[in-house]
Amino acid sequence: MIRLARWSSLVAGLPAAMVVAPDVAAASDDASHDHVAEALEQARIIGGEPVAECGWPAAVALDTGYRGLCTATLVHAEVITTAKHCGVNAQSASVRLGERNGAPAISVGIDGCWNSGSLDMTYCRLAEPITEVPPIPILMGCEVDAMLQMGQTVTAVGFGVADENDNSTAGIKREVVTEISSSPSSGEINVGVNGKGFCFGDSGGPAFVQLDIDGATDRSWRAFGATSRGVSGNGCPGPARMGMLHEIVPAIEEQTGLDVTPCHDADGTWNPSEACRGFPLAPGEGGGSWPDDCEPGPLSGPSDSCGPPVADDDDDDDDDDDDDDDDDDDDDDDDDDDDDDDDDDDDDDDDDDDDDDDDDDDDDD
């Protein structure tokens, strides 16, 4: 993913964001424009295929409102992540769900964006929650150590061009199965090998990984990267350098006040809440149709990726049922005891009656 500013000519005239909000991410002076223009030579998916309808719905197109098109990730119903060099102008930017940037199924404005220090990542809070599709949460805690390994199979998604010599192929959501090609270093990691990776147009977009951790049953998906730039010395398609999203979780949660990692604390400690469940198990399969009928596909139960899961509501209900059954049994036992006592009393009464009859007979004699 070599960066994104080749898209100004492609996206001129795109509609402005639905909601106007303060610009907290992109500067407007000429020097900043020149800097961003130099940085924004963006990346696109190479060797991939268009996604199915409603496939990878958490990978969204981002009209930056400034330099053009980027890709972003819905990591929470109210939060997206993308690349800092995209230069998001929150006053006019919009997030677009669907398979084509030019014909979005859903478009949502941005309330504000914040940069992440030295790393090439930005996070934005949306003007309104996206509830039509499930987000894909950020890889966190022990998941990072277990899954971010050389050779790990991952899926990258983006709206970039399919042919670096044909800009008209931009704006279609594509996916490619590739792998991690470096160890994590300084908050970043390389993704992409063997002609399957990135070039112009996918900046800010996600790489996803499916959990497969020893001792855990959770096989849902996580987002772990935001596409930054091509690896030095490699052309298209080549490995891309990606910022690792878990690095900015503390900043996201502090700034927004939202819990974007419901299974972990911001420092990666396992601390599942009731929201630590319901994560996509097959987000790439798609199904249904936009805007209101996209099928979320199968969702996980309570996650156990890094520790014991939060108690399942069904289990609690079963326990309550068991308690009720026990109470019923106790009541039945009590009723039986009462019946036995009544029978004994009746027998005693009968015996007394017999004795009285005998006495009467004696008197008669």
At residue 189, the pLDDT reads 96
**Number of domains forming the structure of the chain:** 2
Residue 359's pLDDT band (cuts 50, 70, 90): very low
Residue 99's domain spans which residues? 5-256
For residues 320 and 249, state if they share a domain: no
The answer to the question of residue 330 being in a domain is yes
Is the preceding peptide bond at 280 cis, omega within 30 degrees of 0?
A: no
The answer to the question of residue 297 being in a domain is no
Among 256, 277, 300, where does a domain finish?
A: 256
Among 225, 256, 287, where does a domain finish?
A: 256
Residue 4's pLDDT band (cuts 50, 70, 90): very low
**Strand-strand pairing, 69-76 and 79-82:** antiparallel
Average pLDDT across the chain, whole number: 78
For residues 175 and 318, state if they share a domain: no
Q: What is the pLDDT of residues 9-36, one digit of tens each?
A: 333 322 222 222 223 333 333 333 343 3
Q: What is the pLDDT of residues 47-61, one digit of tens each?
A: 678 999 999 999 999
* Cβ-based neighbours of 207, under 8 Å, separated by 6 or more: 154, 155, 156, 191, 223, 224, 225, 227, 242
Backbone angle region of 347, left / alpha / beta, with phi > 0 → left and psi within -120 to 50 → alpha: alpha
The answer to the question of residue 215 being in a domain is yes
For residues 34 and 173, state if they share a domain: yes
The answer to the question of residue 186 being in a domain is yes
For residues 27 and 104, state if they share a domain: yes
For residues 51 and 164, state if they share a domain: yes
The answer to the question of residue 274 being in a domain is no
CATH number at residue 45: 2.40.10.10
Buried b or exposed e, range 94-125, using 16+ CB within 10 angstroms: bbbbbbebeebbbbbbbbbbbbbeebbbbbbb
* Sign of the four-CA dihedral 131, 139, 235, 178: negative
pTM above 0.85, yes or no: no
At residue 90, the pLDDT reads 85
Q: What is the pLDDT of residues 193-232, one digit of tens each?
A: 766 667 666 789 999 999 999 999 999 999 999 999 888 6
For residues 11 and 141, state if they share a domain: yes
